[in-house]
Each structure stands twice: as structure tokens, then as C-alpha cells.
Chains A and B, each alone.
Chain A
Amino acid sequence: MSAQPYGVIATFESSAEIYHAAEQVRDAGYKNWDVIAPCPIHGMDKAMGLKRSIVPRISLAGGLTGFCTGMSMIWFVDAFDYPVTVGGKPLFSPLFAFPVSYELTILFTAFATIIGMFVVNGLPMHYHPAMKYPKFRRGTDDAFFIVIEARDPRFNAANTKALLAKIGGKDISDLEA
């Protein structure tokens, strides 16, 4: 049984090379592709045409949830479920509920940010088809790869390989899923 094709991979030797190669892959209109680099490359998000991450929105949702949880929990406990007057204060006031709501805002924002980041990045990822590429180990040291996935609507084995060769990719190979 033949393995399913995942896509094609190409090697680049420097961050400058891969930066310009990424710009050309972006301009060729590909959507399902990625750059694998041993270090962060400044400006790569623009070169790849990536939009800003949606993680901040997930954080905001987490923060709002935390704030509302704190406020409603204290209202429920102090003013609804078991009302007891303490220190001559009202049964519920946003003032004394604020410190707890504020802490929960931070806590839930942190959870949402971490979890959101993992989900958006598809982590934890124990396997990636690029791991079968013979040069993969150099990708943690001094080599840069571009992987274009077969599910991309513009993917065409011959044309995509030609594009990667044209923009300076070496050792272009097919990847199995």
C-alpha cells in the first residue's frame, strides 16, 4: 500500500534565502504551506503573508469570562445563596467583588492565552511528515525548509516542485503523510 502524499519540501541555506523564497511562495498564492527554521526570523510573518494571530481574541474572551465568573460567583454566594451582612457592608457590591474578579480575569486570560496558543498552533504535535525528510535534523541547526502541502488548492506536484526549484530550493522531495 502506497503512502498518502503530504506535500513537497525544499531546503534553503540561509535566513535571507528563505525569507525571499517565502515571499515568492506567498505571491504564487499558496495558502497551506509552512516555513521550518531553527530560529525566529524577523519579518517572516509578513514574508509569508500571515495575518495577526487570533490568540488575543481568545485571551479577551477568557478575560471577560473570568471577570463575569468572579462577579457572579460573589453575588451568588453573598447576596443570593447565603446572604449574611458582614461589617455593615451591602450584601453585594462590585467594590469588594472587584479584587477577586480582577484576579480571575488575569487567571482566565492566562489560561485562554496558553490554551489558545496550543490549539491555534496545533500543539502538542508529536509527529510531522517533515520528520521523515533525511535532512530534517539540520532543520534544528543550520538549514531552512519550506513545506507546501498537497491539500493546497494550487498544489500540483510538478508545478510546485518547479516553483521551489526556481526560488532556489535544494533537495526537493515528496513527503509522505
Chain B
Amino acid sequence: MSNHAATASTAAPAAPNPGKALMIGLAGIALTAIGLAVSGAQNIAFSWLVGISFWTAIAIGFLLMILIHHIFDAKWSVVLRRQQEHGLAAFKWLALLFLPLLLTPFIGTHDLVWPWMNPDHVLHGHGTVAEDVLYAKKSGFLSVKAFVGMTVIFFGSWIILAALLRKASFTQDKDGDPKWTRMNRKLAAAGLPVAALTLTFAAIYWIKSLEYHWFSTMYGVWFFANCYRGALCISVIIFVWLYNRGDFKGILNTDHMHSIGQVMLALTIFWAYVTFSQYFLIWNANVPEETFWYNLRELNHDGTTNQWWYVGLFILFGHFVVPFCLLLSYRFKVTKHILRRIAYWILFTILVDLCYNILPGLKDAHGDAAPFLSLNLLWVVTSVVGIGGICVWAYLKSFPTTKLIPIRDPRIVECLTHHE
């Protein structure tokens, strides 16, 4: 088995042309820009927020998987790690693509996306933001300075962690020194709390503060679960792609697939546990400061059911029940094209989950959530394609710069013979 690995990894992998991904990405961004003229800046900004959250979540997921790999000194995931390290190359581009949203607090009435940024923003039945006691109590946290500063810190820490992890791992390919492995393990010990805190605050600032009245201690954990699931799914897609191309023949074995599938199942259950806990505690306590967030996603002001109710049910079944039942099966976990299909499905439901959390921030004149089925879905798609194209381009550009797997990692042989 290690013979196959040796032949497969001595040569640097053939580079697919990253230009196509860049063109697709730019086309997506251009289409989204055209949307500014069609749907107006606010709708586009919300759709863009969905797209950037989606891909940033996946990049954070890669970061988490690599950090967790190092902290546990894991052996089974060594061959998987390299491609995730290439995925980290997307962070600096994601930071650049987040810039337009970071500029919205400084244009117009400042509340294009986040209502609390404008003290004169009119709340339904509560006067304005400035008169709102819940805003006054939270104003130290919810200030534009804090928002911009924190966002810079988020991307800064992700970019620095990514650069350090990549440098140590890539240098080890050349000199084979185990000190890089130890260095990454220490970095993981320091980096995991940083990653956990930044992703939690990112979820709170970017997404949860769209409804700043709301309280939920589970929000960061919910975002974490989506980050991890998204990264797992993209990993599966990359690994199956490399396997079908022939690069991963003799490297990726059945037990690797089984292990990835088991983590996917575990995180599916974890996501459900967190999301259910959030809903259940709010439902059970029945406090208006909390229930309004779900009411907005179920009912219009006149009591009729709105479209988000069905989206919520779709998320319950599509994001949990279906992948849970499928991933219970050993055969589905180890059959590459089936696991890849499940991965595509979960990615789609993560996107719907983010829409469910972000898009109802758009309100109509009655304070009801803007309907799910609208032109905004088109702009969500163009944003996801646009930002995704740039991320894939960044990945493909990094892809041929190193060996396919970390061949001089101290645990590489244990990984190649991984057997549960």
C-alpha cells in the first residue's frame, strides 16, 4: 500500500486549470453586482451575507479540522489534511470579499444590513433603536467600531493561523523535521480557543445581530456545527474527485471513507442536538423576547403561516432526518459516489439553514419577514457561485505548490495503513 503512495506522491500533482474557477467566480460576482440595479442594495447585501457566511463557514471548518487533527495527534486523517490546508488559502480572499459588507455601516443611513447601526432605525412598536432599552444595554457590544474591529480580528486570526499551519506543514515536506509537527500541535492548543471564540463572535455579529433583541446561547455552537459539516462535505467532494482522477488510488482506503462518514454522522447528530436545544428551550420557556425570532419565521403579523415555516420544516428533515438515516448505513459511508451525493445534499441544506437565519432580517412594511421565494434566492445563488468560484480558484492555485499528501509527516505510514 505504501508503495502506491510513494509513486503517487513523488511527483507534484498535475494542476487543473484554476482559471476556469476564477472566471466562474468573477461572473457570479458580476451578476450579483447587476442585481444591485434590479433588487436594490439591501436585498443584494443580505444575499451576499448568505454567500460569504456559507464559504467562510466552510473555511473555518477546514481550520477547525486541521487544529483538531493536530491537538489529538491523530493518525487516520494525515492524508486528508493536506487538501484542507490548501482550502485555507481562501481566507484572504474571503476577507477581501467581506469588505463591501464592512463598508455598509458608513454609507447612507448606516442600517443597510444591521438595523442597530442606525439610532433612528424605526422598530415595529418600540420607537427607534436609540430609545430601545435592549439596545442601550447592548450598545457597548453592538457598536460600529466594535463590529469593524472584531471583523478585522476574526479574519486576521484566521489568516494568521492558516498561514502558520500551512507553512509548518509545507516545510516538513522538504526537510522532514518532526519539529514542525510538534510546533503545529502547540499552535493547535493555542489556536483552538481562538478559532472557537472568533467563529462564535462572527456568528453573533454578522448573523445573530440582525435581530439584536434576540437571546440564544447556542448560536455560536450552531454556527460551529455548520462550519464543521460544510468542511467535511467539501473534503469528501475533493477526496472523491482526487480518487476518481487517480491521484488518491492506493492512498484513500475504505476505512478512511468509513471514518469520514462516521464524523459526518456525528456532526449531523450534533447539529440536530444544538438546533433542537435552541428551539426547545425557547419554545418551552415561551418568553416573548426569545419567541419572536421563531414567530417571525412561522407567522405573519395577521397570524397566517408564512413561507419560512415550510423552510423550517425542510431544514428539520433535510438537514437532520435524511442525512442521519442515510449515514447510518455502512455501505453508504464507504461507497464514494453515494457519500459524495450525501455531501452535496448537506451543503445545500447548510445554505438553506443560513438563508433561514439571515434572510428574514429583511422586513416588509408590516414587520413580517420577506418571503423565502423571491428574486433574492437568485442573488443568493449568484453570491454563492461568485464567492465559491474565488475560493475554488484559491484552492486550485495552492494545490500544485506541494505534494499531494504530507509524505514526511511522522504519522503518514500509520495513516496509509489506517484500519479501524
Instruction: List the A residue with the shortest CB-CB distance to B329.
Output: A56
* B 191-216 to A, binary, CB cutoff 8 A, 1 in contact else 0: 00000000000000000000000000
Select A96's contact among B284, B328, B330, beta carbons within 8 Å. B284
Given contacts A52-B330, A56-B330, contact A95 B419 (CB under 8 A): no
Q: How far is the CA of A71 from the CA of B208 in the complex (A)?
A: 33
When the two chains form their complex, are residues B283 and A42 in contact, meaning their CB atoms are under 8 A apart? no
Given contacts A56-B330, A60-B328, A88-B286, contact A42 B419 (CB under 8 A): yes
**B280 touches A (CB below 8 Å):** yes
For B280, the chain A residues whose CB sits under 8 A away are 95-96, 98-99
For A153, the chain B residues whose CB sits under 8 A away are none
Interface residues in B, total, Cβ within 8 A: 9
**B276 touches A (CB below 8 Å):** yes
For A60, the chain B residues whose CB sits under 8 A away are 328
Q: How far is the CA of A99 from the CA of B280 in the complex (A)?
A: 9
* A 53-64 to B, binary, CB cutoff 8 A, 1 in contact else 0: 000100010000
Select B276's contact among A43, A56, A87, A98, beta carbons within 8 Å. A98
Interface residues of B in 281-303 (CB under 8 A from A): 283-284, 286
For A52, the chain B residues whose CB sits under 8 A away are 330
For B286, the chain A residues whose CB sits under 8 A away are 87-88
For B279, the chain A residues whose CB sits under 8 A away are 95
Interface residues on A, range: 10 to 19
Instruction: List the A residue with the shortest CB-CB distance to B283.
Output: A95
* A 98-130 to B, binary, CB cutoff 8 A, 1 in contact else 0: 110000000000000000000000000000000
For A88, the chain B residues whose CB sits under 8 A away are 286
When the two chains form their complex, are residues A43 and B328 in contact, meaning their CB atoms are under 8 A apart? no
| Count of A-B contacts judged by CB separation below 8 Å | 19
In the complex, how many angstroms separate the beta carbon of B231 from the nearest chain A beta carbon? 26
Interface residues of A in 161-177 (CB under 8 A from B): none
In the complex, how many angstroms separate the beta carbon of A70 from the nearest chain B beta carbon? 14
In the complex, how many angstroms separate the beta carbon of B401 from the nearest chain A beta carbon? 35
Q: How far is the CA of A88 from the CA of B287 in the complex (A)?
A: 13
Instruction: List the A residue with the shortest CB-CB distance to B420.
Output: A42
Q: How far is the CA of A125 from the CA of B392 in the complex (A)?
A: 57
When the two chains form their complex, are residues A43 and B284 in contact, meaning their CB atoms are under 8 A apart? no
When the two chains form their complex, are residues B419 and A43 in contact, meaning their CB atoms are under 8 A apart? yes
Q: How far is the CA of A143 from the CA of B284 in the complex (A)?
A: 61
Interface residues of A in 58-110 (CB under 8 A from B): 60, 87-89, 95-96, 98-99
Q: How far is the CA of A98 from the CA of B143 in the complex (A)?
A: 39
Q: How far is the CA of A60 from the CA of B284 in the complex (A)?
A: 30
For A98, the chain B residues whose CB sits under 8 A away are 276, 280
* B 376-420 to A, binary, CB cutoff 8 A, 1 in contact else 0: 000000000000000000000000000000000000000000010
Chain A positions near chain B (C-beta within 8 angstroms)? 42-43, 52, 56, 60, 87-89, 95-96, 98-99
Closest 8 CB pairs of A and B: A42-B419, A95-B280, A95-B283, A52-B330, A98-B276, A60-B328, A96-B284, A56-B330
Some 19 contacts from A to B, beta carbons below 8 A apart, are A42-B419, A43-B419, A52-B330, A56-B328, A56-B330, A60-B328, A87-B284, A87-B286, A88-B286, A89-B284, A95-B279, A95-B280, A95-B283, A95-B284, A96-B280, A96-B284, A98-B276, A98-B280, A99-B280
Chain B positions near chain A (C-beta within 8 angstroms)? 276, 279-280, 283-284, 286, 328, 330, 419
